[in-house]
Structure formats: structure tokens, C-alpha cells
Amino acid sequence: MSHGDRTEIERRARELFDDSVERLDGETRSRLNRARQAALAEVEQARRSRWPAWLPVAAAASVAMLAVVLWRLPGGSPDPSARGDDVAPAPEVVELLGTDADLVSEDPEFYAWLSARGLPQANGSG
């Protein structure tokens, strides 16, 4: 925008703004100067102590790879099939415990009938 194209309000606003910049008090100027020096010093310090840009990426990749290796190692993480969620207990365990599950599998009709009648009362009336 050339000065000739300016309207009166633009010219006046610019003039007042420039004037206010020139009249900034000493304390503000000093603080701006200190802020600039602090900014430059911080950048300089960061530049000197800067780690290679690839370091965080390499570190993350290493951690991920280590996790995969540990997961795959024998004894690292239990095999899902060994958790027993959907696998029948070993026969010797069933024998030792004598679980109800084993009885049901032996005579399912009896237990269906018993279930339909309801459980016997504790006082023996049922």
C-alpha cells in the first residue's frame, strides 16, 4: 500500500501507531530487549544440546521390537490355549476333584429332571 493510496483514517492511524511505538517507556523497551536475548539464548542452548532428530524414532522402534521379541520368546507370554478358558480340564484333575461337571456329563437327563423339580428344601419337605 503506497502512502498516496491511503485514506485519511489509514494515514492518521498509522501515524498514531508509529508515535505510540516511539513513546514506549524505558522499562518496556528494556523488557523487550531482555525477552529477545532470552529467546536467542534459549534457541542457542537448545541447538547445542539438541539430540539427533532421529533419536526418538529409533528409541520407539527399539522398544517396540523388544516387546515383540519378549512376547515371542518361550515363557514370555502364556499361550492363549494354555489359559484354560475354553479347554476341558485334564482327566486326572477331574478325577481328583470329582466335579459336578463330570457328573452332569455322565447322566444329563437326571440332572435336567432334578433342575425342573427344583432343589430339595433344607427341612426335607420337598
Contact at 8 Å (CB) between 126 and 120? yes
By CB under 8 A, residue 35 contacts other proteins? yes
Return the range that interacts with other proteins (CB under 8 A); candidates 39-47, 61-69, 71-79, 116-124: 39-47
Burial per residue of 48-69, b for 16 or more beta-carbon CB atoms within 10 angstroms, e otherwise: eeeeeeeeeeeeeeeeeeeeee
DSSP state of 15: H
Closest CB to other proteins among residues 54, 71: 54
User: Does residue 60 touch other proteins according to CB under 8 A?
Assistant: no
In contact, 121 and 113? CB cutoff 8 Å: no
User: Site for other proteins (CB under 8 A): which residue of 4, 12, 54, 65?
Assistant: 12
**Residue in 4, 21, 80, 124 binding other proteins, rule: CB under 8 A:** 21
Determine, following the binding rule CB under 8 A, whether residue 40 of this chain makes contact with other proteins: yes
